[in-house]
Amino acid sequence: MQTKDYLRITAGTACRPHEQEATLTALLILQGFVMFVATPVAAIRPAGHLLLDVSRILFAAVCSLALTERRVVRIALLTVLALPGGAHAIFHDFGLTRGTLHQVISLTSFILTTLVTGLVIYRLFGPGQVTVHRLQGAIFVYLNVAVLFAIAFDVVEMFCPGSIRLIAGGLIPTVAAQRLAELSYFSMTTITSTGYGDLIPVHPFARSLANLEAAFGVLFPATFVARLVALHLAQSD
């Protein structure tokens, strides 16, 4: 498999290497912005919701460009991934509660993020040259998995309040944006095995998820490096 085939999901002509590198780099930048800037800003400022929604829509747009060349699929992917930015008005018209809206958005985000992560992993560990695309893809997957676990923790917390508690006492915030920021922080400290100890899982499901994420955070880099070494040796032969 050549470099130009990397991250090609649908049949058809693959993206040019320089276009592929640019889109993947843009994905990493936007993903980092959403995780480390837009999410905490939305948690502390009401106007931050707009920044978060716009960032998500831009991320969805770049995803649709980077991961497929089918125009119809791009439009569909962009429409569904942009759900957090436009679903509020739609659900308001149907009279559904904010809690229901949050659950639908969380489920949609989890499914689509899982699909994107799985497709990138499939290309990441496939045969081909060892290029910067694989390194970018590995970072993308690592951060995406942290996002997935943050969503999973959020779901557990929604159905079992108090599953993750503050060590100082009390529960994490119930406001969606603030809870997302707290759980994103908890997910990143778990996957990197930092473990500051200010947030602890107490529910069995939350503990299992934390253990699974910590195991992934340790095993994925080692597995990826081993794969790179194997690919490099194969190219040398």
What DSSP string runs through 14-27? Answer: PPPHHHHHHHHHHH
Q: Is 145 exposed, middle or buried (0-12, 13-18, 19+ CB in 10 A)?
A: buried
Q: Which domain holds residue 72?
A: 15-236
Q: How many domains does the chain have?
A: 1
Identify the weakest region by mean pLDDT among 14-28, 42-56, 180-194, 200-214: 14-28
pLDDT in tens, 80-138: 555 555 555 555 555 555 556 656 666 777 777 787 788 778 778 878 778 787 888 88
Q: Which of 19-33, 56-70, 164-178 has the highest mean pLDDT?
A: 164-178
The sign of the torsion formed by the CA atoms of 135, 138, 139, 140 equals: positive
In this predicted structure, what is the pLDDT of residue 5?
45
Q: Which two tokens stand for residue 59?
A: 């991320």
> Is 173 inside a domain boundary?
yes
103-117, 137-151, 218-232, range with the lowest pLDDT: 103-117
| 80: exposed, middle or buried (Cβ count in 10 Å: 0-12, 13-18, 19+) | middle
Whether the Cβ atoms of residue 168 and residue 211 lie closer than 8 Å to each other = no
Most confident of the following: 20-24, 53-57, 156-160, 204-208: 204-208
Q: Which two tokens stand for residue 175?
A: 């406001």
First to last CA, the chain: 16
Residue 98 confidence (pLDDT): 55
Please state the rounded mean pLDDT for residues 65-69: 65
Q: What number is the average pLDDT over the span 228-237?
A: 82
Residue 50 covered by a domain = yes
Asked if the structure places residue 5 within a domain, the reply is: no
Confirm whether pTM is higher than 0.85: no
Over residues 148-177, mean pLDDT: 88
**Strand partners for 200:** 165
Nearest to 10 by CA among 62, 57, 66, 58: 66
Q: Indicate if the pLDDT at residue 28 is higher than 70.
A: yes
Q: What is the radius of gyration, based on Cα positions, of the chain?
A: 19
For residue 3, being part of any structural domain is answered with no
Top-confidence residue, 126 or 164:
164
Calpha distance 227→72 (Å, rounded): 34
Residue 140 lies in a domain: yes
What percentage of the chain has pLDDT greater than the value 70?
Answer: 71
On whether residue 158 sits in a domain, the answer given is yes
